[in-house]
């Protein structure tokens, strides 16, 4: 009996702050839940109206596409650079430990701080990036990273990659440390060094960690809100609007909580699909 006493507060908290919101959100998705509800206390039943409205909205297609591009682009960048750096820092050279911890800084500072810094660095007229590009004659005119529809999402992806590199690097580095050195020595005897050693020794043994890193990356990236709101606010003209930011917009800018909830539920479904992948990947990582 006593063990439940230790667990009870945590169970109550988890139910109240994760269980309840999910259930509440499911119900709100079927209700006309607007600013009026807060005065009258009434949220009339809406059936599928919120979902129909969300699906028919022209922003929906854009948001889904942007979410996919943002997620795939971010993960690809974070993972490849993180992997390259993990391999680089695997060699224990003088100072590698200190440098590796310094590398964590982008991941530890608040997301909104990163947004603010990059917003100024990417500024069209006075940002350091455009000053560099102009001075080296790489572009003919200063690109409007945050103000043109073709570039806004790319800018968000670049910033998100910068933030995610340390996380990817740290986990992959940990995975690399677990591969016994003898395997490389044996492989070298068989003539496998460099790329071939990576292909036939590192990659197969790192796969379980890679799976976990990729799925966690997807789940975290789907939720991203701070970075996009801080950089572009989802604009210009919804060019960087994702499902998460659009859900925020519907609920907290238009005060149409029912529709915000409906879109949020779609996001939960997508996350859940990846959650199942995560659990399978994680289980396999332990089995090995």
Partner 1 sequence: MTVVTPDALTTTAPVLRKRRRVWGWTAGGVAIIVVMLFPVYWMLNVSLQPAGSAVRTSLFPFQLSFAGYAKALNDQGGHLATSLIIALGSVVFSLLIAAPAAYGLALFRIKWADAMLLGILISQMIPGIVVANALYSIYNDIGLLNTVGGLILADSTAGIPFAMLILRAFMMSLPTSVIEAAAVDGAGAVRTFVSIVLPMCRNAIVSAGLFTFLFTWGDFLFALTLTTTRDVQPVTLGLFMYIGAYVNDWSSVMATAVMASIPAIVLLVVAQRYVAAGVTAGAVK
Judged by CB under 8 A, the chain residues 1 through 30 that form the site for partner 1 are 2-7, 9-11, 13-14, 17-18, 20-22, 24-25, 28
Among 60-68, 70-78, 141-149, 277-285, which window interacts with partner 1 (CB under 8 A)? 277-285
Side-chain-facing half-sphere of 277: CA atoms under 13 Å: 16
Among 56-64, 91-99, 149-157, 188-196, which window interacts with partner 1 (CB under 8 A)? 91-99
Rule CB under 8 A: say whether 126 interacts with partner 1. yes
Among 46-54, 65-73, 170-178, 185-193, which window interacts with partner 1 (CB under 8 A)? 170-178
CA angle, 81 as apex, 154 and 64 as ends, to 5°? 35
Q: What distance in Å separates the CA atoms of residue 63 and residue 59, rounded to the nearest whole number?
A: 6
Is 260 strand, coil or helix? helix
Rule CB under 8 A: say whether 174 interacts with partner 1. yes
Q: What distance in Å separates the CA atoms of residue 164 and residue 78, rounded to the nearest whole number?
A: 6
Q: Per-residue DSSP letters for 50-75?
A: HHHHHHHSHHHHHHHHHHHHHHHHHH
Quick one: which of 59, 103, 134, 179 contacts partner 1 (CB under 8 A)?
Answer: 103
Rule CB under 8 A: say whether 67 interacts with partner 1. no
What does each C-alpha distance from 222 to 27, 71, 242, 250, 273 come to in angstroms? Answer: 22, 6, 9, 17, 12
Quick one: which of 104, 134, 188, 197 contacts partner 1 (CB under 8 A)?
Answer: 104
Rule CB under 8 A: say whether 65 interacts with partner 1. no
Rule CB under 8 A: say whether 110 interacts with partner 1. yes
Quick one: which of 54, 83, 85, 161 contacts partner 1 (CB under 8 A)?
Answer: 85
Q: What distance in Å separates the CA atoms of residue 138 and residue 92, rounded to the nearest whole number?
A: 37
Please say which residue, 77 or 260, places its beta carbon nearer to partner 1. Answer: 260
Q: What distance in Å separates the CA atoms of residue 60 and residue 67, rounded to the nearest whole number?
A: 10
Rule CB under 8 A: say whether 33 interacts with partner 1. yes
């Amino acid at each position: 009996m006593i063990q439940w006493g230790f667990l009870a507060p945590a169970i109550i908290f988890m139910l109240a702050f994760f269980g309840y919101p999910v259930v509440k959100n499911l119900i709100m998705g079927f209700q006309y839940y607007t600013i009026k509800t807060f005065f009258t206390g009434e949220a009339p039943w809406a059936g599928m109206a919120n979902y129909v409205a969300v699906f028919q909205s022209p922003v929906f297609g854009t948001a889904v596409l942007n979410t996919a591009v943002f997620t795939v682009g971010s993960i690809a960048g974070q993972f490849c650079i993180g992997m390259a750096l993990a391999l680089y820092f695997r060699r224990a050279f003088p100072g590698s430990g200190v440098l590796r911890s310094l590398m964590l800084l982008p991941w530890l500072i608040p997301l909104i701080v990163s947004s603010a810094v990059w917003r100024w660095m990417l500024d069209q007229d006075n940002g350091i990036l455009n000053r560099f590009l102009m001075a080296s004659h790489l572009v003919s005119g200063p690109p409007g990273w945050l103000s043109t529809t073709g570039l806004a999402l790319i800018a968000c992806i670049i910033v998100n990659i910068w933030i995610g590199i340390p996380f990817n690097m740290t986990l992959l580095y940990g995975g690399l440390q677990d591969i016994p050195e003898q395997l490389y020595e044996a492989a070298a005897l068989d003539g496998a060094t460099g790329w071939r050693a990576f292909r036939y020794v590192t990659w197969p043994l790192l796969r379980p960690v890679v799976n976990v890193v990729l799925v966690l990356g997807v789940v975290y990236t789907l939720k991203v809100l701070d970075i996009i709101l801080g950089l572009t606010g989802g604009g210009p003209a919804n060019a960087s609007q994702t499902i998460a930011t659009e859900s925020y917009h519907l609920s907290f800018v238009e005060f149409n909580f029912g529709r915000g909830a409906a879109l949020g539920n779609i996001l939960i479904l997508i996350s859940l699909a990846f959650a199942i992948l995560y659990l399978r990947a994680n289980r396999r990582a332990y089995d090995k």
